[in-house]
Amino acid sequence: MIKGLQEKFDELELVLKSTISYMDTVPEEVLSKDLNDQWNALEILNHLYISEMGTTKYLEKKCQAPAETVKKGGLNSWFRSKMLQRALNNYQKKFKAPKVVGSVKGEIDYGKLKLDLISNRAELATVLGTFTPDTAKRAFFRHPLAGRLTIYQTMDFLVAHFKRHAEQIKERTS
């Protein structure tokens, strides 16, 4: 894996491990407590899984296309990525999840969800390992709101997204 991608992947892994370690100390009835109009901790974690799984599957599919058919990320891609980061880092602002990630309500098995997250991370690592310095500059991923992003910008989004929701998990279980 390219060094820069490895660093971003390691950061994403650290946030996942920290979140799981925290959640492992919280009673399951607290994790799954009905919070009326808000997602509980398990629903938030399930949203993160659905989002990352969708991103991984999308990248797997898009990476099959010849690299030269995918535009390079330019100034617009950079600007949209920075605006997305800024929005995600503003914990006071609420967002509606894009429809592509679907509903997260319902019965969630925490043990299975942890295994699914870990399994998807291994798939994501495999996909990231296919990027070369040239393909890493190309905008393979299409974020539902920000548009086309390079793999570095995609990883920045995944890290900021996970960190934002990790904070929500802590808030809603304390």
Structure confidence by residue, pLDDT tens digits, 88-109: 777 566 666 656 555 666 689 9
**Lowest pLDDT segment from 34-38, 55-59, 91-95, 158-162:** 91-95
C-alpha distance from residue 116 to each of 30, 48, 85, 140 (Å):
21, 11, 26, 24
pTM (two decimals) = 0.86
To the nearest whole number, what is the mean pLDDT of the chain? 88
Q: Using N-to-C axis directions, what is the helix angle for 3-24 and 41-62, rounded to 10°?
A: 160
CATH of the domain spanning 3-173: 1.20.120.450
pLDDT above 80: residue 84: no
Ranges assigned E (strand) in the chain: 141-143, 147-149
Q: Which residues, at least 6 apart from 114, have a Cβ–Cβ distance to it below 8 Å?
A: 20
Q: Of 5, 1, 12, give the one whose Cα is nearest residue 164.
A: 12
Q: Which residues, at least 6 apart from 53, have a Cβ–Cβ distance to it below 8 Å?
A: 116, 120
Every domain of the chain and the residues it spans: 3-173
Structure confidence by residue, pLDDT tens digits, 28-37: 999 999 888 8
